[in-house]
Structure 1
Amino acid sequence: MKRRRNILNQSRKIYFWLLIINLFISTFTFGGGYVVVPMIRRYFVNQKQFFTEDDLMSMAAVAQSTPGAIAINLSALAGYRVAGTLGVVISCTAAIIPPLVILGLVSAFYTTFISNAIVTAVLKGMQAGVAALIVDLIIDMCSMILKQRSLFLSTMIPIAFFANFVMSINVIFILSVCCFVCVMQVFYKKRENK
């Protein structure tokens, strides 16, 4: 009985932690889904060690390719990894509440906000912070690819950048080609191992 009570208390603590941390992350991450990744890394990987850095990058890839907001999808995946189905419900609910409240307030007071110089300055400052977080995430993802010591994957990054930034090739086309090339590489490696 005492052991069961301890397990129940432990579960409640994890559920409460998921609620609070996802409310916090969702409240203070402006600028899109990729900004959530460094925050989830800090709290779920570095502080609590619920999963590894590689697990986080895999979850980020799944969150990006799944329909819906990346931030919500990643919160759901992290919640599932930590506490199963109830973890998903808690994490998604906590990730949705702050944007709904903020959007409701902004909508209600739109004319006041749009003409306020302080609000405009704060939003401009947030843009710089979001850009820095996204650059940090890109550096982390690239360093993980370089750690795999795959010349093929390492050269794909600058080629894709060059194709989009310099040659103005459509991103969807670049992603499609990269996916096709990676799938072919996997098939080639499987064939080679047989």
Structure 2
Amino acid sequence: MKSKNLKLYLSLFKINFYISAFTFGGGYVVIPMMRKYFVNNLKLINEEELLDMAAISQSTPGAIAVNISVLVGYRIAGLTGAIISCVGAVLPPLLILTVISSSYSAFRDNRIISSILKGMEAGVAATIVDLVIDMNREILKDKNWLLTLMVPASFFANFFLNINVVLIIIFCSFICFAQSYFKSRRRRSKI
């Protein structure tokens, strides 16, 4: 039994370390990688659980990538899994930033490093677009027209009408809360 737990802990650390070391661009970029390892390959969690964890990670303080790693680790292996996942997710950036800060001027002035970072920006943008498409696919499966129309309406309100994102988020949160409230009341009244 302990051998199985040790193997699971080592796997959690290795996957979170790898994801953290090789995904650049922040929180949402790690979700497709987590889907690949934890949902598709190992089948330790399902797609819906991962998206729920992503939503919780976004709304809690701290880095989304670390938050989602902790939630996945906790879901798979409890408190120990959460701690191991957290260490695995935090260690690569800590090591990379230590190396970069020790020789900052060399990195700042190097054209090759600057070009590599510009190329990474394009990769991050493509990964985020892929994630948005996948998330919208899940929304369309629910056949909830309010949620389906909320995404393009939010984009339109921000991009064309210059409405502050915070106001859009508050408004959409209120609408989702109201919809959930009325759905739960309808279910209770049918019972």
TM-score of the aligned structures, taking structure 2 as reference length: 0.97
How many Å separate the matches in 2 of 1:122 and 1:10?
40
What is the count of residue pairs matched by the alignment? Answer: 188
Residue 65 of structure 2 aligns with which residue? 71
* Unmatched runs of 5 consecutive residues or more in structure 2: none
Residue 50 of structure 1 aligns with which residue? 44
How many Å separate the matches in 2 of 1:155 and 1:130?
26
Asked if 1:24 corresponds to 2:24, the answer is no
How many Å separate the matches in 1 of 2:80 and 2:2?
14
Task: Note the C-alpha offset of 1:152.
Answer: 1.2
1:182 corresponds, among 165, 172, 176, to 176
Residue 102 of structure 1 aligns with which residue? 96
Asked if 1:127 corresponds to 2:127, the answer is no
* Unmatched runs of 5 consecutive residues or more in structure 1: 1-6
TM-score of the aligned structures, taking structure 1 as reference length: 0.95
How many Å separate the matches in 1 of 2:44 and 2:182?
34
What secondary structure, in the 3-state scheme, does the structure 1 residue paired with 2:161 have? coil
1:170 corresponds, among 164, 180, 185, to 164
How many Å separate the matches in 1 of 2:13 and 2:181?
42
Letter in 1 for 2:84: I
Task: Note the C-alpha offset of 1:101.
Answer: 0.8
Percent identity, aligned pairs only?
51
Asked if 1:150 corresponds to 2:144, the answer is yes
Task: Note the C-alpha offset of 1:191.
Answer: 2.1
Letter in 2 for 1:14: L
Letter in 1 for 2:94: L
Letter in 2 for 1:130: V
Residue 93 of structure 1 aligns with which residue? 87
Task: Note the C-alpha offset of 1:106.
Answer: 1.0
1:60 corresponds, among 43, 54, 63, to 54
Letter in 2 for 1:121: S
How many Å separate the matches in 2 of 1:104 and 1:8?
35
Residue 161 of structure 1 aligns with which residue? 155
RMSD of the alignment, in Å? Answer: 0.7
Letter in 2 for 1:159: A
How many Å separate the matches in 2 of 1:187 and 1:22?
37
Task: Note the C-alpha offset of 1:192.
Answer: 2.0
Task: Note the C-alpha offset of 1:85.
Answer: 0.5
How many Å separate the matches in 2 of 1:16 and 1:172?
40
What secondary structure, in the 3-state scheme, does the structure 1 residue paired with 2:143 have? coil
